[in-house]
Amino acid sequence: MRHIAIVGTGPAGYYSAEAAQKLFGDGVSIDMIDRLPVPYGLIRFGVAPDHQSIKNVARRYEKVALSDNVRFVGNLTIGGQISIAELQDLYDAVIIATGAPHDRELGIPGADLPDVFGSAAFVGWYNGHPDHAEVDPPLDGTHVVVIGNGNVALDVARVLSKTPDEFAGSDIVLHAYEELEKAKTEHIALLGRRGPHQIAMTPKELGELGRLERAAPRVDPNDLPEEGADALLEPGMRKSVTFLREFAAIPESFRADKTVEIDFDFFAAPVRIEGDGKVERVVVERTELDADLRSVGTGETYTIPASMVVTCIGYQTPEMEGVPFEHGRGRFANDEGRILPGLYCVGWAKRGPTGTIGTNRPDGYAVVDLIAEDIGEGAGKAGRKGLDALLAERNVEVVTFRDWKKIEEAEAERAREGSPREKFVAIEEMIAARD
């Protein structure tokens, strides 16, 4: 029997488990460990609450979770109640699938002022992540600055712009729904340090921005390259840029009854965030592209008002004691997924925060192929029995998948009308719901 532990139960974790099941059949026993009492990581806490069709991929993960040789071990912190080295002693292979839950740092003066939030915190707040329940964004201000030109920046701008009706069918948590209902947002500046051809936004997400009830996007036509240049772009990017061209052509009459403007500010790098005790404005430097398409400052600066700033500039993986780390890239040091003998990583923990949820599938299958090469039939390790003994010795009570199903049921029962669930936000509430 091969014993595998997977740390993290988001997409990368579940695709790895699925791959191991397919490859080893009954010859594998898999424990999927999460520090939270609830599974699915990024699907629950990262994917936007109004993107339920994407969240539905959890059904596929549930099929894996319900099979006999896979077990969910929730509410167990690796590096807290048990160390990674202890896991390695118990399992033939340990796969780290913990994603990249921390914000990349902006590193400019004023970035630590109150009311400057990283996207992990802000997205975590509206998605009900227990770590970010206390985030208190000042939505009574009118001007929001969103830094970054990726899909997370689009998610944040869209969520800030939607009317309560537009959240119908979503699972946005009540505390965020109620605050957003009262929000006074009028202007959202989306700062991109490069140009329209360098965005990291995908067409579906950009298209949504053009169909909002009370908000309209604005693109300055002067920022757009000549139309002929779009021919050189790959098809997805070309489609995205076509949306930007459409936004640039929106007539003023269309904006007349819109109360929120989403302003794409290209060639704009934030250099300083200022304010008296809290954010009040962002100083921005105009940029241009060098021959390698990197942004370089022109020396010209201007100031935009800001009642709140959300940085959406990517994420990083937190370090784990005893696990080699690649600091420059914010991920575990690894060779195609191998970290050390018996220790592997997948997903964002392996390659950094890029790609879609589906990108994790080949990643999971590839790491399991490596494991098959490395561990043969297994070395007779103690596996889950050994883990249970250790946890009993330490009086650690974990959350099972059956417990999770009870939590899930309770969340569905208390959902607002039309919403699939009202998530429990506090860990204690989650645990109480299974009892």
Q: Which residues bind ligand NAP (CB under 6 A)?
A: 106, 147-153, 155, 192-194, 198, 200, 202, 205, 269, 295, 312-314, 353-356
CB environment 204-243: b (16+ within 10 A), e (fewer): ebbebbeebeebbbbbeeebbeeeeebeeeeeebebbbbb
Smallest separation, CB 390 to ligand NAP (Å): 35
- Secondary structure (DSSP) of 14-26: HHHHHHHHHHHGG
Q: Which is nearer to ligand NAP, 69 or 151 (CB)?
A: 151
* Residue of this chain nearest to ligand NAP (CB atom): 150
Q: Which is nearer to ligand NAP, 318 or 322 (CB)?
A: 318
Smallest separation, CB 148 to ligand NAP (Å): 3
Smallest separation, CB 147 to ligand NAP (Å): 5
Supply the Cα-derived Rg of the chain in whole angstroms. Answer: 23
Q: Are the C-beta atoms of 433 and 411 separated by less than 8 Å? A: yes
Q: Are the C-beta atoms of 297 and 287 separated by less than 8 Å? A: yes
- Beta carbons within 10 angstroms of residue 372's beta carbon: 16
Smallest separation, CB 153 to ligand NAP (Å): 6
DSSP run (H or E) holding 237: helix 235-248
Q: Which is nearer to ligand NAP, 33 or 312 (CB)?
A: 312
- Strand 116-118 to 187-191 pairing: unpaired
Q: Which is nearer to ligand NAP, 155 or 403 (CB)?
A: 155
Q: Which is nearer to ligand NAP, 78 or 200 (CB)?
A: 200
Q: Which is nearer to ligand NAP, 208 or 408 (CB)?
A: 208
Q: Which is nearer to ligand NAP, 34 or 285 (CB)?
A: 285
Q: Are the C-beta atoms of 381 and 3 separated by less than 8 Å? A: yes
Q: Kindly tell me the sign of the dihedral angle through the C-alpha atoms of 123, 126, 129, 133.
A: positive
DSSP run (H or E) holding 309: strand 308-311
